[in-house]
Amino acid sequence: MPMIRVADFIASFVSDQLNVKDVFMLTGAGIMHLTDAVACNPKLRGVCVHHEQSASMALEAYARTNENMGVGYFTTGPGATNAITGLAGAWQDTVACMFISGQSKRVEASHNAGVPGLRQFGVQELNVLPLVSSISKYSVQINDPAQIRYELEKATFIAKSGRPGPVWIDVPMDVQAARIDPETLVGFTPEPADTVLPTSTDAEIAEIAQWLQSAERPVIIAGRGVRLAGARDLLQKLATQWNIPVVTPYLGIDNLRHDLDIYIGKTGVKGDRPANFAMQNSDLVLAVGSSLHVSVIGYDYGQFGRSARKVVVDIDLTSHKKKTIAIDRLLHSDAKDFLQRLIAALEAASFKGSPEAWLARCVEWKRRYPVLLPEYRDTPGAINIYSFIDTLSKLSAEGDVFVSDAGSAFYATSQAVQLTKDNQRYLPSSAMATMGYSLPAAMGVSAATNDGRVLAVTGDGSFQQNLQELAMVAHYNFPIKLFVLNNNGYLSIRASQKNYFERRFIGESPESGVPIPDTLKICAAYDIPCERVSDLSQLEAVIARALAHDGPYVVDVVTPPEQLIIPTVSSRVNADGSMSSRPLEDMFPFLEREEYLGNLLIGEV
């Protein structure tokens, strides 16, 4: 076989072994051989961006969408450091993807110099490995060209095994250009034990099955691990067959269709009342594939599911070593294996199901306490965010993917989005809640779905973080429908300064130092159609025009500058200046105490 460049081997590995067809990149001298190899590979498309942060977010969303891998190329020095925010998001949100960076030639790489404390050797050179090692599952610099196959296969295995996550491969310039014979390359063979998914014991399955049969008010928390394990059908079967309500954290919002009776809602600090009532009133919490982040369990850990047995099933036990909630049973298991065996155990026991009255109570909470309240439709001169998300949900189609951004765009969309059509997805930047995520993420989603339609929601502040990618959206004609919430700056910061700092506003609006350019003028510069809407009676027609347009379309949605993002678990300032929170079931705006107590099947706090 003829000798080829390492760069060409990497490109072929991406297309043929990873089955990835798009590589996100911003070209640079440090990756000239890598990008040339993409140009030489007819199976690959280089999707270019104007900022490496955008590439890092796009490849992460690409991976989440195709449930496989995403790949990006980053030049040495600032190109690599610009990608770190997206890397951190992939790390915390459990996304298998591959970051490949260029580097100065081996003799000028400070990683190889053997000089402690050396800050830089080569031109535009930076030893990126110490920066990325704590937020990636594996990071390596390729100093022996003959090791490229081994390292690519090893990195891929590590990225996908166990709890998925990102990997980082640093390739010096002279290694990129080095000639190798692919036939002589050594591959990676994982240890047999590393290929076996963790599973629960028969005794553990039997115990949980017994607990479920004896429970009067069970609830399932279904996290991202359910989708990653390919267990969504099993989740639906378990919940439907035995009348078990399901609630989800942000990363599990698209585990089930929302019009199913078993799906009650989104739980947590900025979740919704029905889900929190269900979870807090339960006597058995079964959390599957969820790290149970503070946003899910609340700030007062001891009040989470305080009357319930707590069973946690997760492939990664590290997250559950936090000193937060008391877990009754912690099972180290793949979600699919656990659900299959639990269903089998319940069927063998001829379990008739949880009390129908309990599921009916949860469904009644879902009916009685919607996020969208009637009064939200009466906001003269502006459109309530919840009204907008509700309308967008209703006009969406089968297969549509929703993407949200940071702040109010993240929280309100997560609370109000309704996935009631088949194959709809919701992709937030969950753990990091990164400003500027939605536009580059939408690029990744569209690329992963053969240039499919994406419904992206951002704030007028977050929009400024990565608006340069409108040029690329227009160039590739991605049919991204970007909805910009025009609320005069940073709504979430404004609310905090209003509530806790006596309205001493700084850095939240044009009046306090943050000018917000006109979205219509911005889009005109990129030759992307855009219109503004501030009247709810016109909203449906505007959204319909955006959705019907063949290419990209931006809608500037004027929303109230001081809109409340509610319901929410509210903190209160005590006399000594400290802050304390109400339990999850007692969300702000607080219900009348008689009504609130009428919804409690457990003791009041």
- The reported pLDDT for the residue numbered 151 is 99
- Band (571; pLDDT cuts 50, 70, 90): confident
Q: Is 70 exceeded by the pLDDT of residue 574?
A: no
Residue 536 near residue 542, CB atoms below 8 Å: no
Tell me the whole-structure pTM to 2 decimals: 0.96
Classified as helix, coil or strand, 288 is strand
Domains of the chain, by residue range, sit at 4-194, 202-368, 374-558
Residue holding tokens 């460049």? 5
pLDDT tens digits for range 381-417: 999 999 999 999 999 999 999 999 999 999 999 999 9
pLDDT in tens, 217-239: 999 999 999 999 999 999 999 99
Say which amino acid occupies 452. Answer: G
- Whether residue 243 contacts residue 346, with contact meaning beta carbons closer than 8 Å, is answered with no
pLDDT at 499: 85
pLDDT beyond 80 at 485: yes
Averaged pLDDT for residues 308-316: 98
Third-level CATH fold of 202-368 = Rossmann fold (3.40.50)
Lowest mean pLDDT among 28-32, 216-220, 298-302, 361-365: 298-302
Q: What confidence tier does 263 reach under pLDDT thresholds 50, 70, 90?
A: very high
Residue 187, both tokens: 């591959």
Mean pLDDT for the stretch of residues 539-566: 98
pLDDT at 122: 86
Taking residues 409-438, what's their average pLDDT? 97
- At residue 573, the pLDDT reads 62
* Residue where the block lists tokens 């979870």: 279
Cβ atoms of residues 312 and 320 within 8 Å: yes
Rounded mean pLDDT, 497-519: 94
**Model pLDDT, residue 157:** 98
- Binning pLDDT at 50, 70 and 90, where does residue 292 land? very high
pLDDT average, residue stretch 521-529: 98
User: If pLDDT is split at 50, 70 and 90, which confidence band does 354 have?
Assistant: very high
Do domains 4-194 and 374-558 share one topology? The answer is yes
- pLDDT of 424 over the 90 cut: yes
Q: What's the whole-number mean pLDDT along residues 460-475?
A: 97
Architecture of domain 4-194: 3-Layer(aba) Sandwich (3.40)
CB 155 within 8 A of CB 167: yes
b/e per residue, 503-525, with b = 16+ CB within 10 A?
eebeebbeeeebebeebeebbee
Q: Which of 326, 311, 352 is nearest to 206 (CA)?
A: 311
Q: What does the pLDDT read at residue 482? A: 99
How far apart are alpha carbons 320 and 586 in whole angstroms? 25
pLDDT of residue 61: 99
Q: State the pLDDT at residue 139.
A: 99
CATH topology for the 374-558 domain = Rossmann fold (3.40.50)
